[in-house]
């Protein structure tokens, strides 16, 4: 393990392949007083925009140029391109290379490691809808991994300085961790889209239905934040309302086999959490479980 120079806020940082995540991270680092020395982007218009946001950094297209001036390099491109970006750089010892992918193991940075650099993962558990979503890093958890204790400690301090907190993760757990994040974010948005499409028989289009559902979604998130689980769950499952569940299964399957499948599969998978509230009798639990299991089996055949 090669020794790293002392890492602090003055250590020069480069952010490679700055899209929405990378741009937001670079801006947040600069606002927190870190020395963002270089940022890269392939788009000339985006480089101009980044130059306006981070005046002290060189903003270039070439990743080698950026890496040359940095002690710590964040690779923030799409997961599928992390290894490719890493392979484009001639790394040096005493350099730290950090990817911000959720699912990838540290092995994705093996070319840097073999060259003598120290490697790490630093994934913010957050979604970034715009290039300047730096404020969204407040209160965020960062999945952090490194075999180098000094680098790991520095990343933990960095998470705190960004207004968040770090937790340790191993490469072997990254896929299941990232899948959970996708379930709570992208798939949740997709599920809400399916729910909105179910308003079509009412003569209400998806976009309008979505607007009408937003207060319900906000109240649900507020309950999750304030009450936690299982108390945030409401509806027929916590009450053990077998008849309502049966009506839902019939209606969703009639609307669309795919929606019926989604409803029954999600309900069955989360039924044990609803049961934790204590409002569902054992007989109701078994009846609902049987209904959902039968519906799932129907969609499989």
Distance, in Å, from the CA atom of 100 to the CA atom of 158, rounded to the nearest integer, reads 14
Dist. CA 217–CA 16, nearest whole Å: 35
**Sheet of 118-124, strands arranged across:** 58-60, 36-40, 13-16, 72-75, 96-99, 118-124, 141-146, 165-168
pLDDT of 196-249, one tens digit each? 999 999 999 999 999 999 999 999 999 999 999 999 999 999 999 999 999 999
C-alpha–C-alpha distance, residues 268 and 54, integer Å: 49
Q: What is the structure's pLDDT at 301?
A: 57
pLDDT at 298: 73
pLDDT at 231: 97
CA separation for the pair 301, 296 (Å, rounded)? 9
Instruction: Name, in order, each residue with C-beta under 8 angstroms of 176's C-beta and a sequence gap of 6 or more.
Output: none
Round to whole Å and give the CA distance between 99 and 108: 8
How do beta strands 141-146 and 118-124 pair? antiparallel
Q: In the structure encoding, which two tokens stand for residue 259, read together?
A: 């929606």
Q: How far apart are CA 9 and CA 270, in angstroms?
A: 44
Give residue 300's pLDDT: 65
Residue 12, pLDDT score: 98
CATH superfamily, with its number, for domain 13-171: NAD(P)-binding Rossmann-like Domain (3.40.50.720)
Residue spans per domain, the chain: 13-171, 182-300
Judge whether 73 and 67 are in contact, CB under 8 Å: yes
pTM over 0.75: yes
pLDDT of 294? 86
Enumerate residues 6+ apart whose C-beta is below 8 A from 256.
197
What tens-digit pLDDT sequence spans the chain (301 residues)?
556 888 999 999 999 999 999 999 999 999 999 999 999 999 999 999 999 999 899 999 999 999 999 999 999 999 999 999 999 999 999 999 999 999 999 999 999 999 999 999 999 999 999 998 999 999 999 999 999 999 999 999 999 999 999 999 999 999 999 999 999 999 999 999 999 999 999 999 999 999 999 999 999 999 999 999 999 999 999 999 999 999 999 999 999 999 999 999 999 999 999 999 999 999 999 999 999 998 776 766 5
Phi and psi at residue 168, to the nearest 5°: -85, 140
Please report the pLDDT score of residue 5 as a whole number: 81
Cβ atoms 133, 159 nearer than 8 A: no
Q: Where are the alpha helices (DSSP H) in the chain?
A: 20-31, 44-53, 63-68, 82-87, 110-114, 149-161, 174-184, 186-197, 206-226, 236-239, 242-255, 257-275, 282-300
pLDDT at 299: 66
User: pLDDT value at position 227?
Assistant: 97
Among 87, 153, 157, 81, CA closest to 120 = 153
């Amino acid at each position: 393990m090669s020794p790293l120079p002392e890492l602090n806020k003055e250590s020069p940082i480069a952010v490679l392949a700055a899209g929405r995540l990378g741009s937001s991270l670079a801006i947040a680092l600069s606002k927190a007083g870190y020395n963002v020395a270089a940022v890269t982007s392939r788009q000339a218009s985006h480089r101009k925009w980044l130059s306006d946001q981070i005046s002290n950094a060189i903003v270039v297209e070439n990743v080698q140029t950026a890496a040359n001036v940095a002690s710590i390099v964040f690779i923030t491109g799409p997961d599928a391109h992390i290894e490719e970006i890493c392979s484009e750089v001639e790394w040096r010892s005493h350099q730290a290379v950090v990817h911000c992918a959720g699912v990838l193991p540290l092995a994705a940075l093996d070319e840097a490691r073999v060259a003598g650099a120290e490697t790490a993962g630093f994934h913010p558990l957050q979604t970034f809808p715009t290039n300047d979503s730096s404020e969204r890093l407040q209160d965020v958890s960062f999945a952090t991994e490194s075999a180098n204790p000094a680098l790991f400690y520095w990343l933990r301090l960095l998470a705190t300085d960004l207004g968040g907190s770090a937790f340790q993760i191993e490469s072997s757990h990254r896929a299941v961790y990232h899948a959970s994040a996708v379930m709570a974010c992208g798939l949740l948005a997709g599920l809400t889209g399916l729910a909105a499409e179910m308003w079509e028989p009412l003569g209400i289009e998806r976009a309008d239905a979505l607007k009408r559902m937003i207060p319900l979604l906000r109240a649900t998130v507020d309950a999750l934040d304030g009450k936690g689980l299982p108390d945030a769950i409401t509806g027929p499952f916590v009450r053990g309302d077998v008849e309502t569940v049966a009506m839902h299964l019939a209606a969703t399957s009639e609307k669309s086999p795919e929606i019926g499948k989604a409803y029954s599969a999600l309900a069955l998978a989360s039924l044990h959490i609803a049961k934790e509230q204590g409002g569902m009798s054992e007989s109701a639990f078994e009846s609902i479980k049987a209904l959902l299991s039968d519906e799932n089996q129907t969609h499989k055949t």
